Amino acid sequence: MMTTRITELLGIQYPIIQGGMIWCSGWKLASAVSEAGGLGLIGSGSMYPDVLEEHIVQCKAATNKPFGVNLPLLYPQIADHIDIILRHQVPIVFTSAGNPKTYASIFREHGVKVVHVVSSTKFALKAQEAGCSAVVAEGFEAGGHNGREETTTMCLIPAVSRALDIPVIAAGGIYDGRSMAAAFALGAEGVQMGSRFIATPEASAHEAFKEAVLRAGEGDTLLTLKELTPVRLLRNPFFSAVMEAYASGADKDTLAELLGRGRAKKGMFLGDLAEGELEVGQISAMMDKIQPAGEIVHEVMEEFVRICERLGKISH
């Protein structure tokens, strides 16, 4: 047990949240993390409404502990998703990719706690004004879609913590007890880990993608496609094609055409490592094994406590 404003808000034992990732985080992963005392999130951005409903039902059957749904606000069938979340009384929603203003009040009216994912202090303040209960402040090193200002976790967390009254969850580069302790030193009261939870048996990612994440070394991911939506990708033949397009002066339309549709599914869910879009964070370079999600939660917490104790002795 460990108490911060985040554990109290979400009703969890440990301030460790599993990032709600498209194609990777269904009910198996979310329920495993929640069962271990953290907060599991179902990544609804890659699910049709009926699929999301099935995952919520299964998640409830697998754990009595709180879990949540990650809801990208640009999702085309968002009204259906919201309806399902409310109908099944999911207690927590993490919103991302959009303005939480309209949606935060709908959820709040129904007693659902809303946490919004931001990449800048400006958007963090907007989330607070919109009535969100907390924010996830996600740095440049994080996998997948990311902010245009490229502010890193080290610079973002102190800025957001200083500006907000509501508590801050740090994301981007967090994967163990050391980085969790660093996030707490910077002012966070919880952490969200995405990449680390891809390398679990419970993640719904394709095995080939999981293996690619483990093989990733330093410098193997880069933020790209900034003219569309900035996204951190693992280098692969598709990534090389994007680089070639840039080198030959491709404009926004050409890039959008090259990206096409369905590439994230192709890479992360279907395991096409050549043609797929492989979203993962810089910290994949530190990962070297597949490990049960619950074991990760406990290992990170134990190391976090050890690091904090070590730091506590520095001044004596």
Secondary structure (DSSP) of 256-311? HHHH-SSHHIIIIIS--TTTS--B--GGGGG------HHHHHHHHHHHHHHHHHHH
Cβ proximity of 35 and 48 under 8 Å: no
Cα–Cα distance measured from residue 25 to residue 150, given in angstroms and rounded to the nearest whole number: 25
Asked if 225 touches a copy of itself (CB under 8 A), the answer is: no
Please pick, from the candidates 39, 47, 84, 186, the single residue that binds a copy of itself as defined by CB under 8 A. 186
Tokens of 53: 């409903």
* Shortest Cβ 221–a copy of itself spacing (Å): 9
Residue given tokens 């911060």 in the structure block: 4
d(CA 110, CA 128): 18
242 binds a copy of itself (CB under 8 A): no
Near a copy of itself in 21-50, by CB under 8 A: none
Residue among 31, 95, 146, 179 that touches a copy of itself (CB under 8 A): 179
Sites for a copy of itself among residues 291-310 (CB under 8 A): 305, 307-309
Considering the rule CB under 8 A, would residue 150 count as an interface residue with a copy of itself?
A: yes
Q: Which stretch binds a copy of itself (CB under 8 A): 26-34, 43-51, 168-176, 289-297?
A: 168-176
With contact defined as beta carbons under 8 Å apart, do 234 and 213 qualify?
A: yes
Of the candidates 194, 184, 163, 179, the residue with the CA atom closest to the CA atom of residue 284: 194
Nearer to a copy of itself, 176 or 277 (CB): 176
Q: What is the x/- site pattern for a copy of itself, positions 44-83, by CB under 8 A?
A: ----------------------------------------
**Which amino acid does the sequence have at 153?**
T
Distance of CA 205 to the CA centre of its chain: 14
Chain contacts with a copy of itself (rule: CB under 8 A): 2, 120-122, 139-141, 148-155, 158-159, 162, 172-174, 176, 178-179, 181-187, 218-219, 222-223, 249, 282-283, 285-286, 305, 307-309, 311-315
